[in-house]
Structure formats: structure tokens, C-alpha cells
A = this chain, B = another copy of it.
Amino acid sequence: MKFSIKRAALIKSLNKVSRVISSKTTIPILTGVKITADDEGLSLTGSNSEVSIETQIKSDDDNNELVIAEGGAVVLTAGFFINIVKKLPEEKMELSVASDLQTTITSGQSEFTINGLNASNYPHLPQIDTDDSIPFSGDIFKEIISQTVIAVSNQESRPILTGIHFKISDGKLLAVATDSHRLSQRTINFSGNNREYSFIIPGKNLSELSRMIEEHQDLEMRIAENQVLFIFGDTYFYSRLLEGNYPDTSRLIPEESSTQIQLEAPMMLASIERASLLSHESRNNVVKLTIDPSDGKIKITGDSPDVGTVEEELEPDSVTGEELEISFNPDYVKEALHSFGKTMIEISFSSALRPFTLKATEDGNSFIQLVTPVRTF
């Protein structure tokens, strides 16, 4: 294998695949990046047991200044190789692999010789059927992930809850996550194709994917039995699926409520952030909300026996229904409020012990956050 390339092009692609490569894996070859050269260009692959990423650098894209003199493949220790490429002196570099896998990297007067690994020992990426393809707008997909991933569980005790559940049927896509204390659910109209799907993707893999998708980029999703493949730009992103049945969450969302407040999400967020300064100093991290529809005000209180108390009155745009005193984990409510950005929201309560919902006032039911209160009496 032998090629020359503009360093910036190689660095850009190495940064993509290296995000999943760990230097601490127990499978030595997975500490490496696999580089394959053929007539079309270079292909770089990085993988851990959860996610594999493959990205192409095309010969016919003049920006890459890529010239393949000889095809072939090699695996090079990723962290180390990237550092070398980043620090080389000239804009361009050459890489050539000898028959004993000794890899020579030159740029200007600098010449590195490093030991390569045999690419045929690198695990094969899963084969995924091409006819089951679901098209997506990358922007909408990123929005769905950011809105639901906050409620994903990070406890391995119920692995199924560490994923986001996607359900496609009847022209709708529903994405839902819950850690059993709170739930996030987003629904969109979906006319991608007419099949029905139900699958669960690990939340942390989706966060990683989300960071890689550029603005306004198209996304294609292909589902296999235990794998999902996302294709965007020159990149293939493979994630395993979580196996098992996701709990039926549809019945968790209450349809009726007895107390409702409407206000700007950031106003409530700032107030709860202040209250949580004190609740965080306390053993049971709880903030209390007192709603009094008679004077149209709500009161937010946090306290810690050792440190002190904070109390704050807010005047929401509307306070309706019955009086209520309810306590909750402020961190859950902060993350829920944060996911609404600057919109006006409605928070609906049924009782001090039943879960309450947060929705955008103008948006109906397409995006719902649900939080379970904390019993303090």
C-alpha cells in the first residue's frame, strides 16, 4: 500500500473514526485504525464492541489531493498515528507499507517508521441488507435524540432502559426513553416508508452519532436483526441494537390533570437552578413547588439543614385548577425544562404523588416530558 494525501483531509477523517477507538480495549487490534486503499480512495475504520465507524476519502475529490500509488490495507495504532499525522511538518504526507507491515510516513524532512498490524485480523463489519432503508433529515433526527436521550437510564441493572425505543407505524415515528423516574417522548409524522418497525438503540451510541451529523445533512438508516447502520456523507455508523421488549410506556402518560401552570421554560429553569444549589447540599436532593391558583403565584423552595434555605416566588402566565404542594428531584426537572429551549410550556399535575407532564403550549402532544415526584411525607 502506498499513497500521498493532504494531511488536513486525513486528519478530518481520522477524527471521525477515532472517537470510538479506545486505547484500553482488551482486543489489541481494536486500538488501531484500519486503513484500506483501492482505486476509489481510502477507507478508514474504527470500532469498539458497541459502535463501528467507516469513512471514505475519495480519490476523485480534489480537496483531498489523494493519489493511490498501490492498493492494500494495514492497521495502525490509532492515537499514536493521529498524533504523528497532526505534527508532520508539511501540508502533504506520504504513507507506504512494506511487505513486513513496516509503515513509513514521510513529510518534508521528517520520516517515521512504525510497526503496522495485519488488516486481515481486523473484525469484519456486519453485513446489513440494503433494501430496508429509512430516510431521515439529520436535523430532525438530532432533535429527537437530544429531546429523548436525557431520560435514558445509565444503570446497567435494566439494560433495556439504557436505550431509546423507536416505533414506526401508521405514518408516525415515536421515540421514547425512560429511566423509570422520568420519561421523554417525541412523536413526528413519518412518511419514509410503509413498513412497521420497533427497535431500541443504546442512548450513548445515539449521542455519539448525533455529534457526528453535520447541519442539514441527510441521513439513511438501515435496520438488521441486531444491528443498525446510519449512512451520512461519506460515513457509515454501525450500532448494535438492544435485545428484549421495551416496557409499554403509553399508559404512563396521564390524560387528565387537576392543576396547570403555563410559563416560559427559562424562567422556571433559572429558579430551579437556584433552589438546587441548596438541595444539592442536602442528603435528599428535593425541591418543593407550592402552587396557589387563588393569587396566581407559585413558590419554589430548596433547603439544606446544614447550609440554609432559598425561597422564590414566580408569577406564571397562568395558574389554574387546585392548590398543590409537590416535591421533586430538581435535576430531572432542570433537564426536562432545558429540553424545551425558550418556549412557553404547560406543566400539568394530578396530585402530589402522581407523575406530572411538561409540554410546549403550542405544540400539543408531539413532545412530552414526564417526571415522577418525590414523596416527602
Q: Which residues of A contact B (CB under 8 A)?
A: 77, 80, 83-84, 87-89, 102-103, 109-115, 270-271, 273-274, 277-278, 281, 306-314
Cβ–Cβ contact B270 & A89, under 8 A: yes
Q: Which of chain B's residues has its CB closest to A275's CB? A: B110
Instruction: Say whether, besides A88-B274, A89-B270, A270-B89, A113 and B309 are in contact (CB < 8 Å).
Output: yes
B274/A312 in contact, CB under 8 A: no
Residues of B within 8 A of A111 (CB): 310-312
Instruction: Please tell me if the beta carbons of B110 and A281 are within 8 angstroms of each other in the complex.
Output: no
Number of identical protomers: 2
**Taking CB as reference atom, which chain B residue is nearest A274?**
B87
List, in ascending order, chain B residues with CB within 8 A of A273's CB: 87
A302 → chain B, closest Cβ, in Å?
Answer: 9
A309 touches B274 (CB 8 A): no
Which residue of B84, B277, B311 is within 8 Å of A274 (Cβ)? B84
CB-defined contacts of A110 to chain B, threshold 8 Å: 271, 274, 310-312
Interface residue from B115, B308, B313 paired with A112 (Cβ < 8 Å): B308
* Chain B residues with CB under 8 A of A308: 102-103, 112-115
- Tell me whether A277 and B83 are in contact (CB under 8 A): yes
Q: Please name all residues of chain B whose beta carbon is closer than 8 Å to the beta carbon of A109 when the two chains form the complex.
A: 312-314
Q: Which residues of B contact A311 (CB under 8 A)?
A: 110-111
Tell me the smallest distance from the CB of A28 to a CB of chain B, in Å: 12
Q: With the chains together, A23 CA to B278 CA distance in Å? A: 16
Which B residue sits closest to A276, measured CB to CB? B87
Kindly report which residue of chain B lies nearest to residue A297, judged by CB atoms: B109
CB-nearest residue of chain B relative to A83?
Answer: B277
Q: Which residue of B has the minimal Cβ distance to A307?
A: B114
* A113: chain B residues within 8 A (beta carbon): 308-310
- Asked whether B281 lies within 8 Å of A80 as measured between CB atoms, the reply is yes
Least Cβ–Cβ distance between A337 and chain B, in angstroms: 15
Ordered nearest first, which 9 A-B pairs have the shortest CB separation? A114-B308, A110-B312, A112-B310, A109-B313, A113-B308, A113-B309, A87-B274, A111-B311, A83-B277
Closest to A299 in B: B109
Given A114-B308, A308-B115, verify A277-B314 contact (CB < 8 Å): no
Q: Shortest distance in angstroms between A108's beta carbon and chain B's nearest beta carbon?
A: 8
Extra contacts, 8 of them, besides A83-B277, A112-B308 (Cβ < 8 A), are: A80-B277, A87-B273, A87-B274, A89-B274, A102-B308, A110-B271, A110-B312, A115-B307
